[in-house]
Amino acid sequence: MKPKKNKFIFINDTTNNTPNIINNYNDNEYIVLIDYQSYINKISSSYKNMSSNIIEQFKKDFTRAVYKINNKTEKNIFMFIDYFEFLMVQKNLIFSNFLMLCTQAVMGCPLELLYKTIYNKNIYIGELKKNNSPLFFNIYNKNNDIYFNIKKTLRYFYINNKGIDVTLNFVNINIYIPFSTQEKIIITYKILKNK
């Protein structure tokens, strides 16, 4: 009998395989490894008519995110698509699989894991109040390898008795996706105090 594969692993556990993100200021960084195929399957299942829905979602997301190729910002959606479509053909990779990782659906699993760490039902996770932090995609094509570094900053907040949302702290989420090698995906959560 084969050993059961973990779909995700918390590297620095506290108890019950779930980090205590809200109250643990001494150890404010958490690393999670996720099986590549599990992560991709979850994203692809959110698209009914795969190819056309992925392209439509990407077009919507392109204007509200920041896309970089090897640290250089690309603002022209057609240049971005042409570059990577050609690259995928060259490397015999599936363009729609690549493109779905360039949509906001990439945040689904990291947010789901983050919500599982909240024990207080009155705590929420959301966008920043001011200077909304866009989703940053930095896609690297180096040494015959394609990989993603994706970043987003969110906040923990609660609603006080006057109905005003009050920020408790911030969380930087970094996602490393080894697209070519399909090794484990690394998600890092860094909790920052609200000043």
Instruction: Give the Cα separation of 185 and 106 in Å (integer).
Output: 11
Q: Say if residue 81 is exposed, middle or buried (CB neighbours under 10 Å; 0-12, 13-18, 19+).
A: middle
Summarised one tens digit per residue, pLDDT across range 130-162 is: 777 899 999 999 988 999 999 999 999 999 999
3 inside domain? no
Distance CA 108, CA 46 (A): 10
As for how many domains the chain has, the answer is: 1
Residue 1, in any domain of the structure: no
What average pLDDT score do residues 18-42 get? Answer: 70
pLDDT at residue 168 above 60? yes
Whether residue 63 is contained in a domain is answered as: yes
pLDDT band at 39 (very low <50, low <70, confident <90, very high): very high
Question: Does residue 17 sit within a domain?
Answer: no
Q: Enter the tokens of residue 6.
A: 């973990």
The predicted-structure confidence for 92-103, as pLDDT tens digits, reads as follows: 999 999 999 999
Residue 24, pLDDT above cutoff 60 = no
Give the pLDDT score at 117: 80
pLDDT level of residue 173 (50, 70, 90 thresholds): very high
Nearest to 189 by CA among 106, 105, 128, 117: 117
pLDDT score recorded for residue 171: 93
Work out the average pLDDT over 12-41: 63
Q: What is the pLDDT of residues 56-67, one digit of tens each?
A: 999 999 999 999
Count CB atoms within 10 A of the CB of residue 188. 16
Indicate whether 171 belongs to any domain.
Answer: yes
Percent of the chain with pLDDT over 90: 65
Between 191 and 79, the higher pLDDT residue: 79
Kindly state whether residue 183 falls inside one of the protein's structural domains: yes
Question: What confidence tier does 195 reach under pLDDT thresholds 50, 70, 90?
Answer: low
CA nearest neighbour of 107 among 35, 26, 187: 187
Residue numbers of the domain that contains 184: 8-12+26-193
Q: Is residue 55, in this structure, part of any structural domain at all?
A: yes
> Does residue 102 lie in a domain region?
yes
- What is the mean predicted confidence (pLDDT) over 80-87? 96
Give which of 94, 102, 40, 93 is closest to 74, Cα–Cα. 102
Give the global pTM. 0.83
